[in-house]
Structure 1
Amino acid sequence: MFELAALAYLIDKAFGEFPCKHPVQFMGGFINRFERRFYRNHFLPGALLVFCLLAITLLISIAITALCRLLPDTLSLAVLAMAASTGLAKTMLHDSVAGVLTADDPKRAVGLLVSRDTGAMSEADIYKAAIETWAENLSDGVIAPLFYLLLFGLPGIAIYKAINTMDSMIAYKTERYFYFGKMAAILDDFANYLPARLTAVLIVVLAEDKVRAWQCLWRDGHKLESPNAGYPIAAMAGALGVALGGDAVYHGQLKSKPRLGVAVSPIDQTTLVKALAMALPIDVAILGLLSAGILLGR
């Protein structure tokens, strides 16, 4: 699996999103159609959606894997790696967050990345939201997909993306989705439990001030309502020497959230540049670990 994961990572690094309909779009379309037809704000309809999407995703990914086994080994690896690379989002994530730095309207640009309301954001709030998006989605878009690809191959990364897509679409604590999205939220919390913590450790290892990053992770990682999101965000806050988190407005309602990290420095454009500069060390670390796995497996 190490060869498959390394090649998939390199494909994502080189090409990013392919110019065709993404598998997540098909998943999103299925979720929308199911919701339009069967929506009830109860647990069972939401659980049925989860079961149906995961079953379809598993069957398709197993079928693709089985068909690839009929091809020569090199071609099979290449096809599987291309398919698996669609489950990785490192390049898209980096480019999307970096777009906040060059956007004519940074507030609008960050509004495309976060679910919180951006209308009243200050400049510091804009860059803080972008840094939090970068940190949290290093887990959701990079480490977690790789983790399940290494464990279970193409079906593993496909199932993870299905869970993550459902979480992003229906796992909200709003009146409409509180019960309908409950199963999706539970599964996403479970699926991201280990990857979020692995991401946080990776950030600590790559931080210039590893002691401060570790202290912030240990002290603040558990403070957010989410059982997972706080860990990479706290580690990133410590690595940068800033305070992340804090109160934010969601769907018109002010939500009180704890602060993570230590405000050694203010948050500005330079802080986001520094956060995004971790992209290259992350690439080196991931590819180094995958290469080590390939060598040890021979």
Structure 2
Amino acid sequence: MINIFIAFLAYLIDKRFGEFRFIKHPVIIIGSIISFFEHKFYKDSVLRGLLLVLFVICCVSFVSISISTFLNNLNIVLNIGFTSILASMFIAHKMLHDSVLEILVSTNKKKSISMLVSRDTQNMSESDIYKASIETYAENLSDGVIAPLFYLLLFGLDGIVIYKAINTMDSMVGYRNMKYEKYGKIAAYLDDITNYIPSRLTAVLIMIVAKKKMSLPFIKMAKSMTHQMLVTL
């Protein structure tokens, strides 16, 4: 029950305040740990990639468990309050929401969508832009909102921190190219495993939201679906 209350509060805090810009974001700190290991110990091998995963998870687990132990010694109100604030920093719904909403209201939609996707946007039609917006929102809704909340509910603060560490490793080294093909393999596989259930929960949520929109013409449907998803969540 406590984790449910913490997850609810964490979501509300992120939805209202978003990122706390006056402190260094914990995901940036996790990224620094990943970069440190890569700078010191990189080698294009699966074993070295496994060592990266173990090193990063051990580091973030030590910090997270230490913080959780300290907070558990406080009274329950302070514990829930501080844990919710910390957990909200690993949820990215407000940032995602505002980024996609900006596309809907922008006078230069091609420029706005180019900030969110890596593909060429110059030749995109309006329908392409709204389709890309839905795809971007759906993909990031899973690993930026649903999955963090899922692991927060199951395992508390430690769960959401470790999940974001795995997700950050995948985003930094989980590529199929000459440098990371072997080194990032374990991180990529682990990210796939941890996202297996949350990604399907996200798909169900999107289908529920989109169910009433399917009779509209494509452009109107895409715009309406994106707007409805933003409002609903």
For the criterion TM > 0.5, the same-fold answer is yes
Output the CA distance in 1 between the equivalents of 2:211 and 2:156. Answer: 34
Q: What is the TM-score when the length of structure 2 is the normalising length?
A: 0.90
The 1:120/1:279 distance shift into structure 2, 3 A limit, reads closer
User: What letter is aligned with 2:227?
Assistant: L
| Aligned positions of 1:180-219 closer than 5 A | 180-209=183-212
1:266 aligns with 2:210: no
- Counterparts of 1:108 and 1:40, CA distance in 2: 38
Which residue number in structure 2 is paired with residue 80 of structure 1?
A: 83
Give the distance between the partners of 2:79 and 2:85, measured in 1 at CA.
10
Alignment of 1:108-257 (within 5 A): 108-209=111-212, 240=214
Q: After the TM superposition, which segments of 4 or more aligned residues of structure 1 sit over 6 Å from their partners?
A: none
Q: Is the 8 A contact 1:94 1:276 kept in 2?
A: no
For residue 158 of structure 2, what is the amino acid of its counterpart? P
* Greater shift in the superposed pair: 143-152 or 43-52: 43-52
Q: In the alignment, is residue 42 of structure 1 matched against residue 45 of structure 2?
A: yes
Matching residue of 2:92: 89
Match of 1:246 in 2: none
Unmatched runs of 5 consecutive residues or more in structure 2 = none
**Deviation sequence 1:238-287 (CA, Å, 0-9, x none):** x556xxxxxxxxxxxxxxxxxxxxxx73336x7235313223333xxxxx
| Percent identical | 50
Equivalent residues of 1:240, 1:275 under 8 A apart: no
For the pair 1:275 / 2:233, whether they are aligned, the reply is no
Deviations along 1:58-88, one digit per CA (max 9) or x if unpaired, are 1111111101012121011100000001111
Task: Name the aligned partner's letter for residue 267 of structure 1.
Answer: I
Letter in 2 for 1:66: T
Q: What amino acid is aligned across from residue 21 of structure 1 in structure 2?
A: K
| Cα distance in 2 for residues equivalent to 1:150 and 1:65 | 15
1:278 and 1:80 mapped to 2: Cα distance? 27
Is the counterpart of residue 4 in structure 1 residue 9 in structure 2? no
Aligned to 1:23: 26
- In 2: Cα distance, 1:48 partner to 1:118 partner: 38
Partners of 1:46 and 1:89 lie apart in 2 by 27
Q: For 1:3-32, what per-residue CA distance to the aligned partner results, in whole angstroms no more than 9, with x for missing partners?
A: 111111111111111112111111112222
Equivalent in the alignment of 1:289 = none
Structure 1 residues 178 and 265: CA distance shift in structure 2, 3 A: farther
Say whether the 8 Å CA contact 2:127–2:222 is kept in structure 1: no
Shift of 1:117: 4.0
CA distance in 2: counterparts of 1:276 and 1:133, whole angstroms: 13
- Return the structure number with greater strand share: 1
In structure 2, distance between residues paired with 1:167 and 1:70: 34
Distance 2:183 2:125 in 1: 34
Question: In structure 2, how many angstroms separate the alpha carbons of the residues matched to 1:45 and 1:119?
Answer: 40
Further displaced range: 100-109 or 196-205:
100-109
Partner of 2:71: 68
- CA separation in 1, counterparts of 2:214 and 2:176? 31
Stretch deviating more after TM superposition (117-126 or 132-141) = 117-126
> 1:93-118: CA deviations, max 9, x gaps?
11111122344543333233223344
CA contact (8 A) 1:43 1:179 kept: yes
